[in-house]
Amino acid sequence: MAKTNEKKKDFFWLSYSDLMTSLFFVMLVLFVLVYSMQSSIIKDLAAAKEELNRIKEIEKAVNNIDKRYFAYDSLNKKHILNIQFLYPTGSAMIDQITPNKRPELIEAGKAIKELILKFPEAENIKYLVVVEGQASKDNWEGNDELSYDRAQSLIKLWEYSQIGLEKLKNCELVVAGSGEEGIPRTQPDEPPANQRFLITIIPKIGEIKKRE
């Protein structure tokens, strides 16, 4: 009877030892798994933070484009060409504006190009540039079409000056005209107010590669 009890005790401790070994192995596996997951999460968070900082850097560069030519409207997310000029009523010919502001308009185009080239193409950052013409409320019936034609004339001026925005792989140019409407508008809304161009520069950010 005593031998039977001893055998039971030996069996119990053997089973207990096997159970503890199994539990230790399970805990070890779980520890390695949790550690690996934590390391992965930390790396992902670090990468996300770096990407967020890069996006903020790009947006800051866009918003701070050369202030000699642009005023940023943070409410409407648009850049206003702060170059004052006057078109003759019904005209879309940019060489007819008074006073002659074509040299400054050309420099404004170069400032946009400089911004687009600021970040390497390898970073997969593209830009949507919307050139929007506005018109003053001067009772001209065709102001909607006229404002579009005026915006188109600015694009043509940049092309003629070999700025080459249309040739940049990471730049998409869109021409628009909002006539006597559009946002924002200078008040009081009387001629020659709002004979101007609004520029919307939208960075389209894809996957940002980590900088070395």
Q: What is the mean pLDDT of residues 162-183?
A: 89
Q: Which of 2-16, 33-47, 77-91 has the lowest mean pLDDT?
A: 2-16
Helix and strand element counts for the chain (H, E): 3, 5
8 Å CB contact between 127 and 203: yes
pLDDT digits (tens, 9 = 90+) for 39-76: 666 666 666 677 777 777 777 777 778 888 888 888 88
Q: What is the mean pLDDT of residues 137-160?
A: 91
E strand spans, 84-163: 125-133
Question: Is residue 84 scored above 90 in pLDDT?
Answer: no
Q: How far apart are the first and last CA of the chain?
A: 77
Domain ranges within the chain, ordered by starting residue: 1-63, 68-205
As a whole number of angstroms, the distance between CA 17 and CA 33 comes to 24
Q: How confident is the model at residue 212 (pLDDT cuts 50, 70, 90)?
A: very low
Q: How confident is the model at residue 104 (pLDDT cuts 50, 70, 90)?
A: very high
CB atoms within 10 A of CB 98: 10
Q: What is the mean pLDDT of residues 186-212?
A: 73
H helix or E strand, kind and range, residue 204: strand 197-205
pLDDT over 70 for what percent of the chain?
Answer: 77
Question: Is residue 211 scored above 60 in pLDDT?
Answer: no
* Per-residue pLDDT, 44: 63
Q: Which CATH number fits domain 68-205: 3.30.1330.60, 3.90.76.10, 3.20.20.70, 3.40.50.2300?
A: 3.30.1330.60
pLDDT digits (tens, 9 = 90+) for 25-48: 777 777 777 766 766 666 666 666
Closest to 103 (Cα-Cα) out of 158, 66, 51: 158
